[in-house]
Structure 1
Amino acid sequence: MTMPDSSPATLQQIAASLGLHVSTVSRILNASSADSTKAASPRTVERVRQYAKEIGYSPNPMGSGLRTRKTNQVAVLVPRLSDLVLSTIYEGIDEAAAEVGISTFVTNTFDDPQIQNRKLELALSRRVDGIILADSHLDGAIALELRTRKVPYVLVNRRAEGHASVTCDDYLGGRMAAEHLYAQGHRKVGVVAAQPYASTSADRQRGFVDYFREHGIHIPKNMVAQSNFDAESGAEAADQLLRRRPALTAMFAVNDFAAIGAMSTARQHGRVVGTDFAVVGFNDITIARQLSVPLTSVRSDMHGMGRQAVTMLMEVLASKPAESALLAPVLAVRASSDFQLFA
């Protein structure tokens, strides 16, 4: 017999070492004890099992999945797991999946279509049972690819028309932020938005702008500045808005980190957040209430969103119809906007 090297043993190596056909070795090692004698003679079965034990061979779970078409694995695609919102959603996914005996793995796509495609192929090469997309674009391209290939999937956090998703009611959340600022007396407002291909940004912005329009206030396009869901780009977007219209009294940022950046910029422009300038964010991350001027934010159930995505995927895997779910947002009013503006 040839001695095994340090790399993981394979069925092909065992078969070559024992002078047997790989299919025979496979039948022996993957059969139950009761069925093993049907795979080969008792002496051959003993030889194969003994040698496999000596070299530390263990069956490849992916190989098993190829036969049963079930690996009890789910892939989760996110733009960036470093994003606190996405990591919280993933915690909910992983927790709920573990409760039903499923393991998960997560991979970053950085919202880049080429990377999305590469990571998708990587996930599919692992024969996952299904995929949860947290990085879907409004065009639904990656979801459509999965549908075409008959891969079970659901969307979470972001929506795309025609695909089952679990999201916060982002449009309603945007309206709630607008209603609050309008009630506080603000009429000169700006929006720190994000990537237009993300439904989270598009829907929150649209809800906010629609509310003001319905109440006779037009928010021009130049009062909407794009950021990247982080504090630095939120600060830059807020700077653009205040330079364009120094008389602004309030800003709505579609993400809490962007809102934190906007608060910093407002101070640099000589404004006092919570006194003569209001800022409202979205998601209500933990740090929002710990700031020196606590941030008003639209709360989304990030953890629950992840858990519900797993429940929905289980329905898809069971060939049951899945309907999109909108989780209700809640406005948490804090010092950053809790004052009445007197013109």
Structure 2
Amino acid sequence: MEEGSARRATLREIAAAAGVAVSTASRVLARSRQGLPPSSAAAERVLEIARQAHYEPDAQAASLRSKQTHMLGVLVPHLTDIVLSTIYEGIDHAATELGYQTVVANTLDSPDEQRRRAELLLSRRVDGLILGDAHADSPFLAELAARGTPFVLVSRTHDGFDSVTADDYAGGRLVGTHLADLGHRRIGIIAGQPYASTGSERTRGCLDALAERGIDTPRDLVIHSAFDADGGRNATLRLMRKKRPPTAIFAVNDMTAIGVMGTLRDLECKIGTDVAVVGFNDISIARDLPVPLSTVRSALHQMGAEAARLLVARLRGETSDAPSQRRLPTELVVRESSDPTVRTRGRSERVPRKASPGHNGVPIQAPARRPTRRPAQ
């Protein structure tokens, strides 16, 4: 990048020359335009390189900044999903308190639809975006950062960008610990889609906790699926067709777990006795199912509110240049789907995040499995 070059330098080139992430360079330049001083040596380096290169910001991004509408755009995979709708309620509540309005769009978890909906929201001059549909393998986030578009990820995370999520890895560890302490040694994991950090982090946490207890999980017991009841049903059939089916199943979200439980009932398996089931998120119906669902509780409403506050703080120049990745604590709620003895004790058992699940920390043997009806091969 030569000073005086006729070609306008890009934000990506500025970031590369300064040795920082594109998102960091974008925030440094945004703070500078607001008259705020650099907050670090790296920020000073970005500003000096931009000055030497006669850097000019993207026209669309400049327009977005100069004509604030106090509107935030929100992208979610499916607003009909109770998890995403609860997160959105948190976003909208916090945004309203901060003097902003929100507009939400469904992307169907499709990268092409995400791009189309984001461009539509930006054309309506929203001040920034909250994205609940980040794909680990998509270049779109880097493109948004390169254009100087303010955004925050919620529910899912991606290295180098602002995000607010549950501590998915820690939640997965809680599940692995709980099932191991109950005596299970063959555990199936329905891991969701591989492009979503939620599923991959929850799966990794569970596998690590099991490995630390000497429990090996064969690769064919980890099955990817859609994040819905149908995905849970299909994945459960694959698991239960195996010559040695699992004695426990961890589904990385509650709707998938509900599909798991439906299929187990169809196969005449007794949930919690023949096969233990654990989900994730603790949606409102989890405790009211015919067999109440053990699950990891995450603060969904708070997650959305924190994402809105972080984005507005960015828009107002109230934060440092470094990416902020906030992880909210998780908590295991033990119910009858994994531990039928909860019923005899007359209450659901809530296990603190850092505690060792089980009966007073003492491992017990998994109950004997009764014969099950196998699906057709």
Query: What is the deviation of 1:224?
Result: 1.1
Partner of 1:152: 150
Query: What is the deviation of 1:211?
Result: 1.2
Distance 1:117 1:310 in 2: 21
Distance 2:100 2:131 in 1: 17
* Greater percentage in helix: 1
Query: What is the deviation of 1:246?
Result: 4.2
Partner of 2:67: 69
Aligned residue for 2:285, secondary structure, equals: helix
Quickly say closer, same or farther: Cα 1:251–1:67, change in 2 above 3 A.
Answer: closer
Partner of 1:192: 190
Query: What is the deviation of 1:117?
Result: 1.1
Distance 2:229 2:114 in 1: 25
Query: What is the deviation of 1:269?
Result: 2.4
* Amino acid corresponding to residue 277 of structure 1 in structure 2: V
Structure with greater Cα Rg:
1
Query: What is the deviation of 1:244?
Result: 1.5
Partner of 1:331: 332
Distance 1:66 1:302 in 2: 29
1:53-132 counterparts in 2 under 5 A? 68-132=66-130
Unaligned runs of 5+ in 2: 1-62, 341-363, 369-377
Aligned residue for 1:122, secondary structure, equals: helix
Question: Does 2:156 match 1:164?
Answer: no
Query: What is the deviation of 1:227?
Result: 1.6
How many equivalent residue pairs?
Answer: 279
Aligned-residue CA RMSD (Å): 1.5
* Amino acid corresponding to residue 81 of structure 2 in structure 1: D
Query: What is the deviation of 1:220?
Result: 1.2
* Amino acid corresponding to residue 133 of structure 1 in structure 2: L
Distance 2:132 2:64 in 1: 26
Distance 1:136 1:113 in 2: 9
Partner of 2:305: 307
Partner of 2:26: none
* Amino acid corresponding to residue 330 of structure 1 in structure 2: E
Instruction: Describe the superposition over 1:250-273 as per-residue Cα deviations: whole angstroms up to 9, x where unpaired.
Output: 000001011011111112223100
Distance 1:247 1:221 in 2: 13
Distance 2:256 2:87 in 1: 19
Partner of 2:141: 143
Aligned residue for 2:304, secondary structure, equals: helix
Distance 2:96 2:313 in 1: 16
Query: What is the deviation of 1:229?
Result: 1.0
Q: 2:212 aligns with which of 196, 211, 214?
A: 214
Percent same amino acid among aligned pairs? 51
Quickly say closer, same or farther: Cα 1:140–1:155, change in 2 above 3 A.
Answer: farther
**Contact 1:259–1:281, Cα closer than 8 Å, also in 2:** yes
**Contact 2:111–2:135, Cα closer than 8 Å, also in 1:** no
Distance 1:78 1:128 in 2: 16
Distance 2:64 2:309 in 1: 24
Query: What is the deviation of 1:334?
Result: 0.3
Q: 2:234 aligns with which of 233, 236, 256?
A: 236
TM-score by length of 2: 0.72
**Contact 1:85–1:302, Cα closer than 8 Å, also in 2:** yes
Quickly say closer, same or farther: Cα 1:278–1:235, change in 2 above 3 A.
Answer: same
Aligned residue for 1:244, secondary structure, equals: coil
